[in-house]
Amino acid sequence: MRDSDEETAVHQSTAPSRTSQRGLDWFTFFIADLQTGFGPFLSVYLTTQKWTQVDIGLVLSIGSIAGLLCQVPGGWVVDAAQSKRRAAMLAVIGIGVSALLIALLPIFLAICGAKLLHVGSSAVLGPAIAAITLGLVGHAALGPRLSRNARFSAIGNGFAAGVMGACGHFISAQAVFFVTAILVIPTLIALSRVREHEIDPVRADGGICAGDGSHGGPMSMGRFLRKPALLILTACVLLFHVANAAMLPLVGSDMTTRSGEWATAFVAACILGPQLVIAAISLRIGQLAVSWGRRPVLLLGFAVLPLRGALLAFTNDPYMIVAVQLLDGISGAVMGIVIPLALADVSQGTGRFNFAQGLVGSAIGVGAALSTTAAGYLADHNGMGTAFVGLAMAAAAALLLLLVAMPETKPVAD
């Protein structure tokens, strides 16, 4: 027991090695690559396998529902895991196996099983990455480290979109999933470079405050769920994704109708452009979250969304739409960096950091489901312009709630 206490003290007093830092850089890069194949490429692949749109929609719906249900348990599993690195390793292997199943067995039951394995693994992997980051660098250095994660993830997303698109175009849609499975190898190699003994498992869960009445264990779930800042932040994130999730799909549909053979290129630009913005500004966003505080930077990210919705409602020019979509990079950087940073603030000393991530992940899933359903209804019955206005109004509601109710979570000593 004494050795364990001494090891924890070492974790808290020493900075992580350069090897671990670079390992985490490349791990986040390859994770972005690994996840790209499960986006629109899955629908393309199943279409080439003569699947009906009904069956494709059913598989995607099963995956969406399962993903929503897995978020909170996924965070809880990471909180309970003594080794966050091992939890991440198993999740990566699960994603690789699911990619192989999709490539080798394009039958309904196998694809459903692969999709369930993928969403379950992803529900663990997201919190595990944040937990490894927090356990490695500690709360005080979390903002800059999350910024580095966001930069490497954005670069990985852009790189993978190009590579996967080329594989699908020049080889086959099936090749995308073989490439995804192969990417498990460099991902695990990068993870192995993050030294296990440098990841403090207690700190990775948010730490334990000895004076909170928890007798050295995590804060009770009921007490943690009554934290006002956690509830308000979760509600804000839900409203944000009610507004945000359907914007790019609507843009894609509108582009296809208006731009013909150029639609694919314009949609690709709408996807890659924000990733370039995230890569460019992520370090600055992390610095501002430390110097200004979390709330002002969150307000900036949330304020961009209603502006984007309003501009899309009154813009038909494809080049202008691509330019407007660059604003998504600002929101994406803020959400990817400041939300987990604020969750680390709220959960500090509770041992519930990863559970909090799962809770917010569920809010994202609910918001996205509501967004696509409501926006689709508005677009079908009232036109694209009305749909974008509706999304902009939801974004304005998220901004107003954040402005009125969300407290600053930055610790005084930060």
pLDDT tens figures, 199-237: 998 899 888 765 444 456 788 888 999 999 999 999 999
Tens of pLDDT, residues 304-322? 999 999 999 888 788 888 8
CATH (residue range 217-407): 1.20.1250.20
* Separation CA 316–CA 314 (nearest Å): 7
**b/e sequence 317-351, b meaning 16+ C-beta within 10 Å:** ebeebbebbebbbbbbbbbbbbbbbbbbbbbbbbb
What tokens were used for 314? 């009154």
**CA neighbor of 124 nearest in space, from 358, 365, 366:** 358
Domain locations along the chain? 17-205, 217-407
Distances (CA, A) of 7 to 11, 170, 198, 201: 6, 52, 9, 11
Q: Which residue ranges in the chain fall short of pLDDT 50? A: 1-13, 211-214
* Separation CA 269–CA 56 (nearest Å): 26
CATH (residue range 17-205): 1.20.1250.20
H helices of 193-262, where? 201-204, 221-225, 228-244, 247-259
* Separation CA 232–CA 150 (nearest Å): 24
**CA neighbor of 98 nearest in space, from 122, 117, 84:** 117
What tokens were used for 127? 């919190």
Q: Is 126 helix (H, G, I), strand (E, B) or coil?
A: helix
pLDDT at 230: 95
Domain 217-407 in the same topology as domain 17-205:
yes
- Residue 23: exposure state from Cβ atoms within 10 A (0-12, 13-18, ≥19): buried
pLDDT at 42: 81
- Report the predicted TM-score, pTM, of the whole model to 2 decimal places: 0.85
Sign of the torsion angle spanned by Cα atoms 363, 79, 135, 350: positive
The type of residue at 178 is F
